[in-house]
Chain A
């Protein structure tokens, strides 16, 4: 990460908000901090001890005209906030809670989700979680894995049933939050709606499913058949609960998923 960018963020946040960078993508840099942006200590001390927050920053792009750049940053930040806010209101759907926003400067604050997996297995996203179960002599087909993937499928089902698409559904963008009362209960949360949108198009939904399937095949190829089967089972369960209309939509969607898959295969054969 460039020193210049970190300096820009530090200047904006002031030394009162110490940050640690955790990720840099094409669009945004992500930091964590222990400082709440606005709640007085008297208020946070009871409810929020040791809380961590995420600061997601969309830096200016030098190759864009400054005026266009400002307006794009503002729109994208607002759009991500808006979609998170809508999704948060959908019953059963798990996304990070937004805390604060400065759209003009490209900053979003949200709650930090997840934890470090035991034995240095990394952050608790779906990708690392599956790695963990395929190493150290553990059973990659463990009941916990099956249940977790089913729940991931349910989350995507809920998202799609409500006509939202993720746009970048990789196994790193699914964070598992451990239930504090049951260590084997991992509750999947969907993050990074930077490319999210409302959409009722089967194509967009089919592509979401395809992207996740590819991600799992590429990182966990030996077990991917079963893993993807469990995901689709969880996904389908959401639609099947919706009666006839749900089953009809599910049929169309899985049909398109298959088409997208075939197109992908052709493309890779053509090289």
Chain B
């Protein structure tokens, strides 16, 4: 689990993990409304930059503007692309019954939860692997990513250099 704070938002604690070989996708989808974290299908995620730049956007919106969805957790799915169509983004980045790999993110304001890692592992039937670009690139769908990236403002630029070169 990667625990961090964004320098500009010291009141928020971000925890994120990558899970592969998920077996209970169907149950997760059924229960999604009650799950207090963001669950992101990694098909369209090839770098941690994608996740964390979206978290930054969520916190900017949350602190200085207003979020457009029900919660910080759902807002993260929206902020993963510059497209503002909520339904489309949930479909693209949210999990479905067949999801095998996912990133789970918790954003807590003024709270500490020392049991998060346990909670993640209890919720997800799968295998936790280190959240890094190397692992994400093994499990994502580069072809599909290429399609969405070129039409998305900033999406290519935030990728680390060797990756962004694949797309430009």
Q: Is the CB of B48 within 8 A of A39?
A: yes
Q: Is the CB of B7 within 8 A of A37?
A: yes
The residue that A104 contacts in the complex, of B7, B65, B150, with Cβ under 8 A, is B65
Q: Is the CB of B153 within 8 A of A81?
A: yes
Interchain nearest-CB distance for B110 vs A (Å): 15
The interface residues of chain B lying within 8 Å CB-to-CB of A42 are 2, 4
Interchain nearest-CB distance for A76 vs B (Å): 15
The interface residues of chain B lying within 8 Å CB-to-CB of A47 are 160
Complex interface: stretch among B50-58, B89-97, B99-107, B121-129: B50-58
Of residues A12, A17, A42, A47, which shows the largest number of chain B Cβ atoms within 10 Å of its Cβ?
A: A42
In angstroms, Cα B56 to Cα A55, docked, is 15
Decide yes or no whether B28 CB sits under 8 A from chain A: no
> Which of chain B's residues has its CB closest to A42's CB?
B2
Q: Is the CB of A100 within 8 A of B53?
A: yes
User: Interface residues of B: mostly helix, strand, loop or mixed?
Assistant: mixed
Q: Is the CB of A89 within 8 A of B156?
A: yes
> Which of chain A's residues has its CB closest to B9's CB?
A14
Cβ proximity bits A79-105 to B, threshold 8 Å, 1 near / 0 not? 001101100110100000111111011
The interface residues of chain B lying within 8 Å CB-to-CB of A5 are none
Interchain nearest-CB distance for A182 vs B (Å): 18
Q: Is the CB of B10 within 8 A of A38?
A: no
Interface residues on A, range: 20 to 34
Decide yes or no whether A20 CB sits under 8 A from chain B: no
The residue that A102 contacts in the complex, of B4, B60, B156, B160, with Cβ under 8 A, is B60
Count B interface residues, CB 8 Å.
27
The residue that A35 contacts in the complex, of B7, B150, B154, with Cβ under 8 A, is B7
In angstroms, Cα B5 to Cα A249, docked, is 52
Decide yes or no whether A23 CB sits under 8 A from chain B: no
Q: A16-B10, A41-B4 are in contact. Are A97 and B64 (CB under 8 A)?
A: no
Q: Is the CB of A88 within 8 A of B55?
A: no
Decide yes or no whether A40 CB sits under 8 A from chain B: yes
Cβ proximity bits B1-31 to A, threshold 8 Å, 1 near / 0 not? 0101011101000100000000000000000
Interchain nearest-CB distance for A131 vs B (Å): 31
Cβ proximity bits A51-88 to B, threshold 8 Å, 1 near / 0 not? 00000000000000000000000000000011011001
> Which of chain B's residues has its CB closest to A13's CB?
B8
In angstroms, Cα B153 to Cα A97, docked, is 12
The interface residues of chain A lying within 8 Å CB-to-CB of B153 are 81-82, 85
Cβ proximity bits B128-160 to A, threshold 8 Å, 1 near / 0 not? 000010000000000000000010011011101
Q: Is the CB of B8 within 8 A of A89?
A: no
Q: A38-B53, A47-B160 are in contact. Are A17 and B154 (CB under 8 A)?
A: no
Decide yes or no whether A1 CB sits under 8 A from chain B: no
Decide yes or no whether A269 CB sits under 8 A from chain B: no
Interchain nearest-CB distance for A129 vs B (Å): 24
In angstroms, Cα B2 to Cα A97, docked, is 25
Q: Is the CB of A16 within 8 A of B65?
A: no
> Which of chain A's residues has its CB closest to B52's CB?
A38
Decide yes or no whether A43 CB sits under 8 A from chain B: yes
Q: Is the CB of A88 within 8 A of B156?
A: yes
Closest 9 interchain pairs by CB? A40-B4, A16-B7, A38-B56, A38-B52, A97-B157, A102-B60, A98-B157, A85-B153, A17-B7
| Chain A interface residues (CB < 8 Å from chain B) | 12-14, 16-17, 35-43, 47, 81-82, 84-85, 88-89, 91, 97-102, 104-105
Q: Would you list 11 pairs from A and B whose C-beta atoms are within 8 A, ordered by A residue?
A: A13-B8, A16-B10, A39-B48, A40-B52, A43-B2, A81-B153, A85-B153, A89-B168, A97-B164, A104-B65, A105-B64
Q: A89-B156, A98-B154, A105-B60 are in contact. List 5 more A-B contacts (CB 8 A).
A: A14-B10, A16-B8, A82-B153, A97-B157, A102-B64
